[in-house]
A and B are shown apart, each in its own frame.
Chain A
């Protein structure tokens, strides 16, 4: 079993608290992404899992066993680095073979010259060679086995690093922004390949990235981190449609979620610039009167000005190919919202007046502390 339990991990570098009581359960065989802006502590968390960094407090268990005091090599994990960290003087073959050579050969069998003659050494080396070739085939780098890392492209280096991680069949794979040094096209391709590897090879994947698209497309679950705290751990759909925190809603989604600064009246009705939005908080009362309303761009309906909702003026376009992002400045208050239209479905001209309406059920409300507030079910006038 390779489920990982992380219990109230804390870590400070000097006066900076990088992790602040993080607890997380990673299920056996799942692909979980740690996402968040740079400096949120996600890489530190991964490095503590790997054993490259020691936590100040808390514990890490894998399959029920405490592993947080074991050396990195003694944990059944592999890691892929952002910089690939390939040994530059070794061929691709030898790079991939290192974890096996170290673990299976004894000191004498590893010796450069006599190693081949030491009893048992040759048979083990044959076996390792076969496994290296199998891994290389899987990653489509068989014809590169004799090259050195310096002779490879970025993508090929990344595959070699993946090969070195996979060849040992560890229980858990830790990946630290493995695709961020690749160009955009290759990144998309490697994304699906890594996801496919996860499906075919199994094992628990913990994947660190600051790229929300990567996280959303590859993972079974996302763990969104900010300022050393885990904000939400959920499936990609839940993170996107049902964020529990304003910061999660802001971080995930492209274009950014539209936010309107609003107030709540005594009955829980939500007002924007003193005009009712037609929304009501489920639990009125409380001291909190400031409410932030969030609507994703695809939940914004733009219709000719005779339609329902608020009035706004189109102030900009952004073409994305199949879709167009339409920037609308609301007439009362000047807040800017971004809506999405099918590129072929007729896009309102710049300067045109449009009605802006929010799709029922797609509006999110957050309190002044950033926490999600429930809205009353029944829509009303």
Chain B
């Protein structure tokens, strides 16, 4: 690298005053970017890592190093495991749900002759709306007494449910809201992916005798969408691991921790119980999981979905 820079420097007609001069220039030029990166990205990460090894409490004047005690406490914390399990279940429902629904919507919209833009805009609405505001609307709709959902159920003779206060239902309800909120974004990405598939591939499939519909989808659409699908799955996974706002507005982790999720736990620990050290440890676990998803994408999956 340094050698290349030096050669560039000389061929560009510059004077070389001392060996490695160009290297210093290169370092000097990249310094601002490196400094910003350290300050804004790496710095906070290091601070969180450091805090997770202390008993720091928000607002306290002193802190002491307690080693891995926070992590040990976490391992024995029933709420943490419950929270991790809930987040996993939530993701396992929301990722396939919103990816599948997004793909389906994109395929259907791609198939209609007119009004594609209108459909896209409608499905994209939940993405643009603030989830906090939308969560309030959901709260009205799901109200056990006068909510639209229960009124509808009652009018067709089905048993109304106490959606957000039923331990066995609340997490699923949140997952449905998560799907509703997220699939429009995936639909837009899939739509772009569909537009990028060369038409001659479909024509070749038609001439090769591949029947329209499922077989052609399997042969052309699905493999050609693979890079988009991978991206969508990764982004949706990360987003679903970060679920917080709906929980905060609708259930506050309840009833009886049934909707306690990772980010809510670290929020509650950090800003309600002021146990910043412990919250930092939860954050480290959360970041590790998110990072694993990204590493999996670049290390392994990327190679399987690009065909060149």
Residues of A within 8 A of B (CB): 50-52, 71-74, 77-79, 81-83, 85-89, 98-99, 102-103, 148-151, 164
**Any A CB within 8 A of the CB of B220:** yes
Question: Whole-angstrom distance between the alpha carbons of A82 and B219 in the complex?
Answer: 20
Instruction: Kindly provide the distance from the CB of A162 to the nearest chain B CB, expressed in whole angstroms.
Output: 13
Q: Judge whether B207 and A79 touch: CB under 8 Å.
A: yes
Interface stretch, picked from B53-61, B150-158, B209-217, B291-299, is B209-217
Q: Per DSSP, are chain A's interface residues mostly helix, strand or loop, or mixed?
A: mixed
1/0 contact string of B200-230 vs chain A (CB within 8 Å)? 1101111111110001000110011010000
What are 28 A-B interface contacts by the 8 Å CB criterion? A51-B207, A72-B203, A73-B207, A73-B208, A73-B209, A73-B210, A77-B207, A79-B204, A81-B200, A81-B203, A82-B200, A83-B198, A85-B204, A86-B204, A87-B220, A87-B223, A88-B223, A88-B224, A88-B308, A89-B226, A98-B208, A99-B209, A102-B208, A103-B209, A148-B307, A149-B307, A151-B308, A164-B204
Residues of B within 8 A of A (CB): 198, 200-201, 203-211, 215, 219-220, 223-224, 226, 307-308
Instruction: Kindly provide the distance from the CB of A70 to the nearest chain B CB, expressed in whole angstroms.
Output: 11
Q: Judge whether A89 and B307 touch: CB under 8 Å.
A: yes
Among A79, A85, A102, A149, contact of B215 (Cβ-Cβ < 8 Å) = A102
Question: Whole-angstrom distance between the alpha carbons of A151 and B308 in the complex?
Answer: 7
Question: Whole-angstrom distance between the alpha carbons of A81 and B202 in the complex?
Answer: 12
Give the most central of A72, A85, A98, A150: most B CB within 10 Å.
A85
Q: Judge whether A98 and B206 touch: CB under 8 Å.
A: no
Question: Whole-angstrom distance between the alpha carbons of A264 and B208 in the complex?
Answer: 57
Q: Per DSSP, are chain B's interface residues mostly helix, strand or loop, or mixed?
A: helix
Q: Judge whether A150 and B307 touch: CB under 8 Å.
A: yes
Give the most central of A74, A77, A86, A87: most B CB within 10 Å.
A87
Additional 11 contacts, C-beta under 8 A, given A85-B204, A88-B223:
A50-B207, A72-B203, A73-B206, A73-B209, A79-B204, A81-B203, A83-B200, A85-B201, A89-B226, A98-B219, A99-B209
Instruction: Kindly provide the distance from the CB of B218 to the nearest chain A CB, expressed in whole angstroms.
Output: 9
Q: Judge whether A71 and B200 touch: CB under 8 Å.
A: no
The chain A residue sitting closest to B304, CB to CB, is A89
When distances are taken between beta carbons in the complex, the residues of chain A under 8 Å from B220 are 87
Question: Whole-angstrom distance between the alpha carbons of A149 and B223 in the complex?
Answer: 14
Instruction: Kindly provide the distance from the CB of A78 to the nearest chain B CB, expressed in whole angstroms.
Output: 7
When distances are taken between beta carbons in the complex, the residues of chain A under 8 Å from B211 are 73, 102
Among A50, A102, A148, contact of B210 (Cβ-Cβ < 8 Å) = A102
Known contacts being A81-B200, A83-B198, A149-B307, is A89 close to B223, with CB within 8 Å? yes
Q: Judge whether B210 and A52 touch: CB under 8 Å.
A: no
Question: Whole-angstrom distance between the alpha carbons of A57 and B280 in the complex?
Answer: 73
Give the most central of B201, B203, B204, B308: most A CB within 10 Å.
B204
Q: Judge whether A71 and B206 touch: CB under 8 Å.
A: yes
